[in-house]
Structure formats: C-alpha cells, structure tokens
Chains A and B, each alone.
Chain A
C-alpha cells in the first residue's frame, strides 16, 4: 500500500492543524465510548492515545511531525497544573485537620512506589537500567524524567512508564477502591495523584472538590518527596 502523502504537498500549516483536530477528535471519541460502555477499560486517554498512534502509523507521520501541532494542546498542561491550586485553597480547612495522616500517606506512597518499582523489575529478571527507569514511574512526567536522569535510568523509558502507570490508575482506581470499600474523596484524590500523577488525577478530579484538591497536593508533594528520597534510597538498593 502506498503511503498517503497528504501533509507537505498541501500547505505547510496543515500538519499542525491536522494534529490538533486528530487529538481533539480522538479524545472526544474516547469520551463518547466511555459514556456508552461504562466499562473502566474504556478510558478516553487510553482510547485517544491508541487512536492517534494508529492514525500516525497509517499516514506515515512521525511523532515529531505530530507534535508540531499537538504541542499547542500539550502547552495547556502548564496552566492546568497551576490551576490545581484553586481546589486546594477551597479544601484548606480539610487539609489542616488531616495534615499528619496526609503526610504519612504521601511518604508511604512515595516509598512504596520507588521500592516496589525497582525491586519487582529486579525480582522478575529485568535489567538494572529498566529497574532504575521504573522507580520514578509514579511521578508527573517532567519530574519522572529528571529523577530518572539523576539515578541513572533511561529517561524516555521512565516517561513511558509514568504515562502507562497514570493510565492504569485512571482505568482501575474506581473498581479497585470500590472493592476495598475506600470511598473517602480525599483518600481517592491523594492516592490517584500519588500513584498516577496527572493522568490518574484526571479521573477523580471531576468527582469531588476534595478529590481535586488532594490530587493536586499529591502531585506536588510526591514530586518533592521522591526527588529528595530517590537519590538517597536507590543507591542503597543498587548493590542488590
């Protein structure tokens, strides 16, 4: 089959525009599928990534070409992250009352994520490079990248793990916590942000003010905690 030579033969502006329309369309389709199926696997982020990935393959477009347009959507991640401060301010009183449980849950979550990420890969016979790349997978992607470099992992692999981990949280947080009878919105938000950073949080943020607030705190706090803990804890494990 001949590749469809749609982009550069037309106008230079069409590839970026196509990338934006494709991204919005794939996500909207994912939301539609989620509404119809009501199955946790029907997650719009997951469906959107698969749809865009397949489309790029079929049209022989490189990821770099796609990103020339998609970067405009990507850019909004910055102000959206800053916007997490707003629900946080609204939930301040609740956070004050639950400060120590919150801090304990955050530190425990950060350590469990680091240690189990590294340890499980080693136990299952994976290389040390893969184990080191797995350790920062619960972090928001730019921090996962920075921590990965700091401890000697493969940065692009850590980013892939961070995104896949986030999708896992977005897909399974509802069934998993329902099964464990954990329905407190603050606990759900904190766990989604700690284990799945932004993508995980995107699932619980619309559910409750407190979920949104605690997800924001968790993304920030886990970034700070793990950036401090990883360079201390990981060298101790490397000998094993």
Chain B
C-alpha cells in the first residue's frame, strides 16, 4: 500500500504540473512544474516526506540513467544531419558543455556554503556507481 500511495503522490503532482502547463501555456514541462509544486508542498507544510515516499523517490532516481535510453536512441534518427556538419557540432558541443559545467561548478564551489550533510541518500547504489 505504501508504495502505491507514493506512486500516486508522484503521478498526482505530475498531473497537476501538466494541467498547470496546459492552462498557462508556459514552455516548462509538466513534470518540472510538478517537481516545484511537490517541493513547495513539503516546504510550506514544514514536514519531511514519508519514508516510503523517500524510498520510492530514491528508487526511481537511482535508475534515472535507464529512463533516458528510449529518448537517447532517437539520436540515430538524426545521424545524417549530425554527420553533415560533424566538426563544428562536436567541437562546440564539447567546449560549450564543459564551459557551462566548469562555470557553474566553480562559482558554487567558491562562494557556496560547505556541505553539512555528510551522507549519501543511496549508499548501496553508490557502490554500483550508476
């Protein structure tokens, strides 16, 4: 039951996000709006999410990479276009991605607070190195 309730909560907030997106016509995807709504819900109620919900969330998140495979395989549909301008594409993609990564990481590392929670939420999965 606890797992069904957790899945219900996640899908309910996703549905709320999709509904809000349809109503407001913003270009932010429904699940991202749902994520903001769910975080706001717990922050405003000043409560920790229940343990089953934490477990379900961690379960889904620890396999997040798998969930990107179906969309990722879609790249093969674009191979011809990618090949046609492979040099500017590959150089800019690599350089721009690394620049973005380093800029964000450096500012946060240099000016942000130090970690106070020393643990990992997913100790067993961490060893799998997903």
Contact = CB atoms under 8 A, between A and B. Distances in A.
Q: What range describes how many residues of B lie at the interface?
A: 35 or more
A117 B89 contact: no
A12 interface: no
A157 to B, nearest CB: 6
Given A142-B29, A176-B102, A82 B61 contact: no
B14 A186 contact: no
A164 B98 CA distance: 12
A151 to B, nearest CB: 11
Contacts, number: 374
A96 B17 CA distance: 24
Contact of B35 (A34, A117, A183, A216): A216
Interface string A57-76: 10000010011001101101
B14 A82 contact: yes
A48 B66 contact: yes
B112 A126 contact: no
B43 interface: yes
A240 B53 CA distance: 50
Contact of B120 (A67, A108, A194, A206): A206
Interface residues of A, number: 127
A130 B85 contact: yes
A76 B99 contact: no
- Chain A CB count within 10 A is highest, among B73, B91, B128, for B73
A176 to B, nearest CB: 7
Interface of A: 23-24, 26-27, 31, 34-35, 38, 43-45, 48-49, 52-53, 56-57, 63, 66-67, 70-71, 73-74, 76-94, 97-98, 100-102, 104-106, 108-109, 112-113, 116-117, 120-121, 124-127, 130, 134, 137-138, 140-143, 146-147, 150, 154, 156-157, 159-161, 163-170, 172-173, 176-177, 180, 182-188, 190-192, 194-196, 198-203, 205-210, 212, 214, 216, 218-220, 223-224, 227
Given A82-B34, A120-B96, A160-B78, 10 more contacts: A76-B60, A82-B11, A89-B42, A94-B113, A113-B99, A137-B97, A176-B98, A196-B97, A198-B68, A207-B126
5 contacts: A81-B29, A165-B93, A172-B101, A190-B108, A206-B129
7 A-B pairs with the lowest CB-CB distances in the bound complex, closest first: A126-B88, A109-B104, A70-B70, A191-B105, A120-B92, A81-B31, A124-B88
Interface of B: 7, 10-11, 13-14, 17, 26-32, 34-39, 42-43, 48-49, 53-54, 56-58, 60-62, 64-78, 81-82, 85, 87-89, 91-117, 119-122, 125-126, 128-130
